[in-house]
Amino acid sequence: MIIDLPSTTTSQVNSKLVQLREEGGAVTLGRVLTLVIVTDDGAKTEDAVDAANDASREHPCRVIVVARGARKAAPRLDAQIRVGGDAGASEVIVLRLYGELANEGASCVVPLLLPDTPVVAWWPHEAPAVPAKDPIGQLAQRRITDAAAEKNPIKALDQRKSGYTPGDTDLAWTRLTLWRAMLASALDLPPFDRVTEAEVSGEADSPSTDLLAAWLAGALKAPVKRSKAARGVGIVDVKLARKSGVVELLRPDGKVGTLTQPGQPQRRVALQRREIRDCLAEELRRLDPDEVYESALRSLGKVVRGRTPVKTSAARKPAATKPVADKPTVDKPVADKPTESPNGEAPAAKAPAKATAPAKTAAPVKATAKAAAKTAAKTAAKAPAKAAKAKA
């Protein structure tokens, strides 16, 4: 059932809610929290409401939608109450704010909050740079954003890092749950070698790819590269290099992944891209700070961006011979000197090269031979004189 209340007030909305509950025969409300959705009025608002309705079947709650309308219109509040089959397992209150009232969403939300229950704020599209400093964010114990829905997802992810406050989370992180579970289970199987380096590839503007690479960098204490995938959506490929070989989890089609491990057959695993309602339901299961998400944000600076593939242990051996291969480049200036000859002729340029080394070494050899000959001649001349003296 949908009830429209045009040009109304929050007190009238509250009175109508009490009336509907009494008419329906509900003595108490079985609501565990209040979910506040902050968005701009438009077609995307219904998508957010549908996702909240699906999540409410697992977490019965009161959903308050703050739909900000035209700022240049006259101040007005149009409300809509949805109960029954149109609200899932919750009750939905849609507040459409116009004019100056569009910036007063927190004031309109406070009278409608359920008493003694947690408050969760969700920005399904554009979110403030620091959600905890937003007026609605200050009312909530848990603040949910979605960097993938921003105009610049990677920039939005950097803002999440700089403005992080305990209680913040992002659906780009929630989409990694299956990936994190598969990679952790793969490393729990023998051989238990240490991961020496890793590479995560995906779409260039995929914040989930960046978060997965940051999580691996912080958890494995190893260098991690983040590269752009040639094809595929979202996260496409993860490679973990170990001494025994490379563990690879590949998902090119966004549906089914292939896990490859040394000494084991390939396995196909379910890695379907998660819907928003599933991610939202997962985030509503816990209302305490997510320390692992915070750690992943802090590790974003450790990720190296590039296209260089992950090297296996066998591929590292040639790396030690690089300095030897680079030595000929040092001799280039010596080879280029003959080309500076005034006449520029090739034969004249080669001549000094042949004479440089031998000329310097031959001179000392000849001088030594002459000195030896003179010494021998003097010795031979003195020998008869010494013999004559000996006879006398």
Residues in the chain, how many? 392
Other CB atoms within 10 A of residue 25 CB = 6
DSSP type of residue 290:
-
Cα gap 88→122, rounded to integer Å: 18
- CA distances, 88 to each of 22, 249, 317 (Å): 19, 37, 61
CB 179 within 8 A of CB 271: yes
Residue 360 included in any domain: no
**Cα separation, 130 vs 110, whole angstroms:** 20
| Gap between the Cα atoms of 181 and 23, Å rounded | 47
Q: Which amino acid is at 179?
A: W
pLDDT tens-digit profile of 336-345?
444 444 444 4
Domain total of the chain: 2
Identify whether 318 is preceded by a cis peptide bond (ω within 30 of 0): no
- 43 within domain boundaries: yes
Indicate whether 42 belongs to any domain: yes
The Cα–Cα gap between 308 and 199 comes to 9
**Residue 330 within a domain:** no
pLDDT in tens, 13-43: 999 998 988 887 665 678 899 999 999 988 7
* Residue 279 is assigned to a structural domain of this protein: yes
- Judge if 136 and 232 occupy the same domain: no
Classify residue 97: in a domain, yes or no. Answer: yes
Rg of the chain over all Cα atoms, to the nearest angstrom: 38
User: What are the structure tokens assigned to 249, written together?
Assistant: 């989890």
Same domain, 62 and 187: no
CA distance 114 to 61: 9
Residues 192 and 120 in one domain: no
Average pLDDT, the chain: 82
pLDDT in tens, 283-327: 999 899 999 999 999 999 999 987 544 554 333 344 444 444 444
pTM greater than 0.85 (yes/no): no
- Residue 229 lies inside a defined structural domain of this protein: yes
pLDDT per position as a tens digit, 165-218: 999 999 999 999 999 999 999 998 888 899 999 999 999 999 999 999 999 999
Q: Could you tell me which residues come within 8 angstroms of residue 246 by beta carbon, excluding any fewer than 6 positions away?
A: 239, 240, 260, 262, 310, 312
Range of the domain at 213: 177-318
